[in-house]
Amino acid sequence: MSDAAAIVVCGAAGRMGRLLIGLGREQPDLRIAGAVEVCGHPCLGEDAGAVAAGSPLGVAIADDLARILRPDHVVVDFTGVPDAAIRHAAVAVERSAALVVGTTGFDARQREELCALAPRTRSVVAANFSVGVAVLTELVTLAARLLDRRFEAEIVELHHHSKRDAPSGTALALGRAVAAARGLDFDGDARLAREGMVGARPPEEIGIVALRAGDAVGDHTVVFGGLGERLELVHRAQSRDCLARGALRAARWIVDRAPGLYSMRDVLGL
């Protein structure tokens, strides 16, 4: 196993970026090697440690990943801008650096692009880095298999009012897990909104509803509604720490892997 993993945080002044830097600097097996923000951001040139609400780290926030990235670095992207995450992935591939992507909100084309780039280096891509959601996904897969399609699957997610994408990447991933377990086509069977005279619900439909309110970190409920009974599996993130700690764990883990696209399931050895 190598020494401390050197991470470069993209989206360094964001909610997750600050947390990754604040928590990452405390871990002996990690080192904050770089911090990147978008061109024109007011924090450019400032010390990443100070911006993350701590003491200075000696790492200035830069606006060009390609200028600072080295092959022994791990790019950790939480920019929240899919095209930026794809650009950062391309730079990681070009430099043979490892990659951890937490950004969500990719459309089909962007997802395809990321999935083509990521396996060309050592990569972990996850819509949710919490251990609880990884286990929830396993439980949802099991429940979707054990309960027949008459137990209709619906997913409800709740996030803070600043979240840019809807439904959440986690809700979509949970929907994909249901579809995979039941041999359904997620893109064809997912129902992302209902309004008006929608008619009866086909049993194979996978409904996803997004709520936005206040400062909620992220709740996900998967409902399997049968006749006379209902199974609900719920995860609530009480703080972003679990997400940041999971991403840092993934960054440490990916350093010693062979090139390929890995999931949080792989990181946790589930």
Sites of contact with ligand NAD (CB under 6 A): 10-11, 13-17, 36-38, 41, 78-81, 84, 102-105, 126-129, 165, 243
Rounded least distance, CB 86 to ligand NAD, Å: 10
Rounded least distance, CB 55 to ligand NAD, Å: 20
Residue closer to ligand NAD (CB basis): 3 or 64? 64
CA-closest candidate to residue 235, choices 158, 152, 120: 158
SS3 (DSSP) at 128: coil
Rounded least distance, CB 37 to ligand NAD, Å: 5
Residue closer to ligand NAD (CB basis): 84 or 135? 84
Angle 15-243-176 (CA atoms, 0-180°, nearest 5)?
115
SS3 (DSSP) at 93: helix
Rounded least distance, CB 199 to ligand NAD, Å: 33
Secondary structure element (H or E) that encloses residue 123, with its range: strand 122-125
Residue closer to ligand NAD (CB basis): 124 or 147? 124
Rounded least distance, CB 63 to ligand NAD, Å: 7
Residue closer to ligand NAD (CB basis): 101 or 156? 101
How many Å apart are CA 57 and CA 48, to the nearest integer? 7
Residue burial 30-69, b: 16+ Cβ < 10 Å; e: rest: bbbbbbbbbeebebbebbbbebbeeeebebebbeebeebb
CA-closest candidate to residue 62, choices 6, 12, 7: 12
Residues with catalytic roles = 159, 163
Token duo for residue 162: 């600043």
How many Å apart are CA 163 and CA 182, to the nearest integer? 30
Residue closer to ligand NAD (CB basis): 98 or 184? 98
